[in-house]
Structure 1
Amino acid sequence: MTRQCVPEHGHQGNDFSSFLIGEATSCITQHRHVQALMLLTKAFLTDPSSPQGFAPLAGVCQFLRRWDDLERFCRLRLSHCPDDDHAWYHLAGAELSRRRFLAGVWALREAVTRNPRHVDAWIDLGCAWKKLREIQQAIDCFQRAVDLNPQSCIAHDNLIFTMLFSDRISPDEIFAAHKNWGILHDVAPLPHPPAPLRTGRLRIGYLSPDFREHSVASFIEPVLASHDRSRFEIFCYHCHQDHDRVTARIQTLTDGWRELNDVSDDVAAELIRNDGIHILVELAGHTAFNRLPLLARRPAPIQVTWLGYPHSTGLPAIDYRLTDAVADPPGISEQWHSERPVRLPGPFLCFHPPEAPDPPEALPCSKNGFITLASFNNLAKASPTILRCWRHILAAIPDARLLIKSEIFSDRESSDWAAERLQLPTDRLLFLGKTPDRTSHLALYSQADLALDTFPYNGTTTTCESLYMGVPVVSLAGRRHASRVGATILEAVGLGDLVTWTEEQYVATAVKLAKDLPRLSSLRRNLRGMMAASPLMDRQRFTDGLEAEYRLMWERFASSR
C-alpha cells in the first residue's frame, strides 16, 4: 500500500478503520491474505470494541490457520465486549483447532449462554463433546441445533451419525431418525434422462469428499485400480478442497474427474446427469462433507451408497446399499434400510495396505514383562459397555496395561479430564496423542500385543491396520452394521474365533488370547500373509463381484423401463 493511499491522521477512527477494512477486502479477493491480516489487525486495534473489524479479522486468521493470533484477538475483543457470542465462538475455534478440546467446550458454552440461538455454536459444541466421549451431551447439542434450524443438513447429519456411537439407543430408534432425515431433506428429483443403450460400457460415478489421505481411500483405491475398463467407464466426483498424493494417484485411475467442492447441489446434479452416469455410488453417507442432498435430486438413474457410513442413509432417492451377509444378515437388517441391501459375495470392503515395514517378530511383552492391550480407535467409540468389558479384562490380567491412542491426549487438560471419566485404573493406562502421519501411527503397533475393538461402533480401518501390523483384534458384535464390521473383517482373514457375541465372551476371549503367548507370537509373524491371501485383500475377486452386482442393477433398471 503506497503512502498516499493512507488517510491523514486526522481521519483516524471509524473512517480509518473502514478504509483499512476496504483495502483488506480487496487484498482477500486477490488472495493476498497475509497483507489483509496486517490491515485488519490495524483496523481492529484502532477500536477493539467495534464489531466492524473483528469478523473479517477472525475469518482471515482462520483461513491462514493463525490460531494463536485468533485467540489473542478474541480475548482482546472479549475484554471490551464480554457478551459477544461471536468472539466466544471464534475463541473456541482457536482452542479446538489446537486440540484444546476442554477449553473449546467452555468457550462454546459461553457462546450459547449469550446467544442460545447460535446454531453453529451448538453444532461445534456437540462436536467437541463427542471428541471428549460425552455422546449424550453431543446428541443433545445437535438436537438443539436441529430444533433451531431444521433445514441444517450439517446439524442433522451430526445428530444421526452420533447416535451410532451410543449403546443406549436401539436400532429401531436410529433407523427412524435416519428416515426422518430423508423425509426432511428430500427434494424434487431431476427428470430422468432417456434410458441409455443396453449394450456398451456402463458408466459408474463415484462421489466422495475422501479421495485423499483418508480411511475411505484405503478401500476405494484397489477397486478403482481393478475395474474392467473394457466394460466399465469410471468417473470420480471429488467434494473436498484438499488434494494430496492419494488424490493424484486416484485421478490416474479414472476416465473422468470432476471437482465439486465449490459447486452447488443443483449445478453438480446437472453436471453428473450430463456426464451420462448410469450408476452413481456415494461413499460418505452422513459423514463430513457429504453430498447427500445432491443425490436427492437423482442425477443418475441408479444410485447406491457404500463404504464410508455404517448405516442406511434414510434417503428415498438412493436405491441400493452395498454390504455383506455378516455385517447385515439376510432377513434381519432389511428392517433398518431405506435402500435395498445388496450383499456382496465376500466382505463388503477390500483393503489396500499402507506402506509399512514388517512388524517386529518379538512380542512387546517379551521385553516389557507384561501384556499391552491397545485401542487406537476414535475414543468416542469407547461406550460404557466396552469400558465395562475393559475393566473386567484388566482385573483378570493383573499385570496388563491398556494403551489408548486419541488426539484428546495431545492436550494435558483434556487428557486429565477424559482419563478420569473412563473410570479405568489409571495406574494401568498408557496414553498416546495424535501422531504427525500414518507411518508414525502404524509404528505404534510395535508397542501392542493385542488390540481390543470398540462397541457398538466397531473399528474398520483401525482393525485392518492392526491386523496388518501383526496385532490381532478381539471384537464384540451386535445387531446393527456398525457393531458387526469387526466380524466381517475377522471372518474374512480366518479369525472368526475372535468375534464374540456377549460381553462375557468378549472378556473371556481377550483374556485367553492375552495369555496364549505362542499364538500371539505366531499371529505376529503370519497375520500380514494371512490378510494378503484372504478375500479382504483380493482386489480382483472383490471388484469382479462388485461389477457383477452393478450389471444386475442395470439389467433390473433397463427391464423396468
Structure 2
Amino acid sequence: MVAQSYYYQDKYESAAEVFVRAANIDSPASLKFCNLAFELFRKAGNTWKALQAADAILKRSPRDHTAAAFRRHHLFDFLLTEELLEANKQAMAGITANDEFIRSCELPFNNLMWCGDEGINSRIRDLRAPLFSSDDRKRRRAQPHQFARKIRIGYFSADFSSAHATIILMRGVLECHDRNDFEITLYCNTPDSLIANDAGFRQEVGKLVSIRDLTDAEAHARIRDDGIDILVDLKGHTSGARIGLINSGPAPIQVSWLGFPGSVTGIDCDYVIGDPTVTPDTSKPFYHEKFCRLPECYQANDNKRRPLPPPMRRQDAGIPTDRMIFASFNNVKKISPETIGAWASILRNCPDSILWMMCDNEIAQENLLRYLDAQSVAPDRVIFARPIGYEAHIARLQAADLCLDTFPCNGHTTTSDCLWAGLPVLTTKGSNFASRVSESLLVAAGVPELVSESTDEYVALACELAKNQSLLKSLRQRLLDNRFSAPLFDTERFTRHLERGYRMMVERRKAGLDPDNIDVPAFPPRQEPFR
C-alpha cells in the first residue's frame, strides 16, 4: 500500500525504495519486488539505482534478459573499473562461444568501448532492428534509376543541429559542396531538444526535409521520389538511427560515414567511408561494406566556423599553474579499465602531475577516485572539469599540457578539438576503426610521433613528455604551425576528395558494376596555407 501511494503521487523513486526493502526479505515474491524496483528506478530516471536493482534481479534470475541488457549497457556509465573488466571478460567468452543470450545483451556501440577485435565487432548487431538479406540488397540494386547531370546526395541524421558533434565536424563540408555538380538534401530525424539548441545551421544549410514523423515506408517513398543517387547514413548503430529505413533500400547507392566507427553490421550500406589508417586492407574480411578510402583522413573538419578563442588562463580553468596537466575530455563510456590502468601508471611515475578530466557524474567520480587510490594515486591528483560552452571549451583545452587518449575507443571529435586548439594528443595504435581514429587525425595533422606502439610505450611516452618540456613545446608549436596547412583541417580539400569518391561510386553504378573497394586519388599538395 505504501508503494502504491508513492506511485500515484508520481514519487517513483520512493515507491522503488519500498520494493527494495521488501525484496531484501527472503520470500517467494522477492524477485517480483526486485523487478518492480528496477522498473520504477528506470521510470524515475535514476540509472545508478536501476543498475543496482538489475544486479539484484540477476542474482535471483541470471538469464533475465531485460536486467542483463540494462546492466551491460549502463556499466559503462559509472567507471566501475573492476566490475567492467570482469563483465568484459564474460562478454568475450560468451560471444566467442556463440552464447546467443550474451551476444543479445551486447549493443554494437558499447562493444566498441571495450573490444578492439574486428572479428568480434562484426558479430554484434542491433537485434531490435529488421534484418536485410542478400536478396534484399540485390533487389535494391536492380531497381531502375535515372541519374541526372548533378549527383543527388542525401544525408540522413538525427543530429542536424549546430550543437551536435557531427555538425561541428561536417558543417563546412556541407557548405563547401560544389552545387554546380551536386544537389544536397538533408533527411532529418532530429529531436526537438537538439533543434532547440541550434544556432542557425538549420536555416542556412539549404534543403532540409524532416522525416521524423514519417513511417519508414513514407520516408522511403520521399527519398525515392527525390531521386537520391547516394544516401549517406550518418548514424549507423547510434541514437536516432532509422535502421528499418536504410534497410528498406531507398537509394541505389547507400553509404555509411562518420556516425559509427566500424562496419554497420546488419545495415544495408554498400560502402563505408574510411582512410588507409582506419580501414586498412587487413580489415576487409570483417566488413560487409566495400571501402571508399579518402586519401588523407576520413573525418570531416570545419575550419571556418569552428571557434578559435584565446587560451583560458589556468587560474580561470581551476587547475594549478605549476603542475604538468594531463587532460581527458572524452565521454566516460570510452574510459576502459585498460585506459584507467595506464593513467594510474602515468600518474604514479609523474608525481608532480594532475589528471584533468571531464566527468560530471558524481558516482562515476567517486568510483574512479576509489580505484585510483587503491592504485596509490591520491584523490587530489584528479580535477574534474565541468561542462561549459563550446567556444569556452576550446579556450580551456589550451590550458592543458597533453591530452591522454582513450582506448580501444579513441576520441573522435574530442581529438580533433584538441588538435585544433593546439593541444597534443597521445594515443596508441589500434586494431579496429574506433581504435585507429586518433592515429588517423594525428597523421593528418603532421604529428605521427604521438602514436605509440603499445600501452607500455603510451605510458613511457607520456612520462617522457612530462619530463621533456622542450619536446612537448615543439610538438605543440608544430600543431599550431600546421593548423592551416596540414590536411586535417583543410575543409575544401577534404570536400573535393569526398566528392571524388561519390563520383567514383556513381561511375561504377552507371557502368552496371557492383560496388567495389575504392581508393580516392589525392589532389596535389597545397603550396600555400588554406586560411
User: Under TM normalisation by the shorter chain, which class is it?
Assistant: 0.7 to 0.9
| Counterpart position of 2:296 | 346
Kept after mapping to 1: 8 A contact 2:354/2:381: yes
Residues 1:194 and 2:140 are matched in the alignment: no
Kept after mapping to 2: 8 A contact 1:355/1:439: yes
Look up the equivalent residue of 1:218 and give its one-letter code.
I
| Counterpart position of 2:110 | 162
SS in 2 for 1:373: strand
Q: How does 1:102-501 map to 2 (within 5 A)?
A: 102-110=48-56, 121-133=67-79, 134=84, 137=87, 159-167=107-115, 170-178=117-125, 185-186=131-132, 188=136, 193-197=143-147, 199-212=148-161, 213-242=163-192, 243-244=194-195, 247=198, 249-315=200-266, 317-329=268-280, 331-352=281-302, 354-360=306-312, 368-408=321-361, 411=362, 413-422=363-372, 424-427=375-378, 429-432=381-384, 434-501=386-453
Shift of the alpha carbon at 1:436?
4.7
Shift of the alpha carbon at 1:246?
6.6
Look up the equivalent residue of 1:208 and give its one-letter code.
S
SS in 1 for 2:200: helix
Worse-matched range after superposition: 76-85 or 382-391: 76-85
Shift of the alpha carbon at 1:431?
3.4
Measured in 2, the distance between the counterparts of 1:429 and 1:366 equals 11
Residues 1:530 and 2:482 are matched in the alignment: yes
Write the deviation string for residues 255-283 of structure 1: whole angstroms up to 9, x where unpaired: 43222333332322222222211100001
Measured in 2, the distance between the counterparts of 1:312 and 1:182 equals 17
Larger RCO of the pair (alpha carbons < 8 Å, separation 6+):
2
Shift of the alpha carbon at 1:115?
8.1
Q: 1:434 to 1:105 in 2, by over 3 A?
A: farther
Report the TM-score when normalising by structure 2: 0.80
Q: 1:503 to 1:49 in 2, by over 3 A?
A: closer
SS in 2 for 1:418: helix
Kept after mapping to 2: 8 A contact 1:365/1:372: no
Q: 1:524 to 1:148 in 2, by over 3 A?
A: closer
Measured in 2, the distance between the counterparts of 1:365 and 1:436 equals 13
Structure with greater helix percent: 1
Look up the equivalent residue of 1:71 and give its one-letter code.
E
Q: 1:108 to 1:89 in 2, by over 3 A?
A: farther
Look up the equivalent residue of 1:290 and give its one-letter code.
A
Write the deviation string for residues 347-406 of structure 1: whole angstroms up to 9, x where unpaired: 111222643522258899996332111222122323333333323322332222222322
Write the deviation string for residues 145-204 of structure 1: whole angstroms up to 9, x where unpaired: x96799xxxx76x5222221225x6322222335x969972264676553213x411110
Gaps of 5+ in 1: 1-46, 59-68
Measured in 2, the distance between the counterparts of 1:506 and 1:149 equals 32
Write the deviation string for residues 426-475 of structure 1: whole angstroms up to 9, x where unpaired: 31631315515434544542542111111111111111122223321111
Q: 1:86 to 1:436 in 2, by over 3 A?
A: farther
| Counterpart position of 2:526 | none
Measured in 2, the distance between the counterparts of 1:519 and 1:149 equals 47
Kept after mapping to 1: 8 A contact 2:233/2:255: yes
Gaps of 5+ in 2: 24-29, 514-531
Measured in 1, the distance between the counterparts of 2:158 and 2:65 equals 24
Look up the equivalent residue of 2:404 and give its one-letter code.
L
Q: 1:436 to 1:118 in 2, by over 3 A?
A: farther
Measured in 1, the distance between the counterparts of 2:205 and 2:246 equals 21
Kept after mapping to 2: 8 A contact 1:182/1:315: no
Counterpart of 1:546 (choices 474, 498, 503) is 498
Identity within the alignment, %:
29
Residues 1:509 and 2:461 are matched in the alignment: yes
Q: 1:442 to 1:90 in 2, by over 3 A?
A: farther
| Counterpart position of 2:13 | 71
Q: 1:246 to 1:351 in 2, by over 3 A?
A: farther
SS in 2 for 1:257: strand
Kept after mapping to 1: 8 A contact 2:312/2:399: no
Measured in 1, the distance between the counterparts of 2:367 and 2:209 equals 44
Kept after mapping to 2: 8 A contact 1:493/1:530: yes
SS in 1 for 2:431: coil
Worse-matched range after superposition: 72-81 or 380-389: 72-81
Measured in 2, the distance between the counterparts of 1:425 and 1:470 equals 32
Q: How does 1:40-119 map to 2 (within 5 A)?
A: 54=7, 70-72=12-14, 74-75=16-17, 83-84=32-33, 85-96=35-46, 102-110=48-56
SS in 1 for 2:370: helix
Measured in 2, the distance between the counterparts of 1:203 and 1:521 equals 46
Shift of the alpha carbon at 1:93?
4.5
Measured in 2, the distance between the counterparts of 1:105 and 1:434 equals 25
Shift of the alpha carbon at 1:414?
3.9
Structure showing greater radius of gyration is 1
Measured in 2, the distance between the counterparts of 1:229 and 1:479 equals 38
Worse-matched range after superposition: 365-374 or 211-220: 365-374
Write the deviation string for residues 522-548 of structure 1: whole angstroms up to 9, x where unpaired: 555663452232211111111111111
| Counterpart position of 2:518 | none
Write the deviation string for residues 209-260 of structure 1: whole angstroms up to 9, x where unpaired: 1212222112221111110111111111122313437756343454432223
Look up the equivalent residue of 1:515 and give its one-letter code.
K
Measured in 2, the distance between the counterparts of 1:217 and 1:482 equals 19
SS in 1 for 2:149: coil
Measured in 2, the distance between the counterparts of 1:416 and 1:182 equals 34
Q: CA RMSD in A?
A: 3.7
Kept after mapping to 1: 8 A contact 2:20/2:37: yes
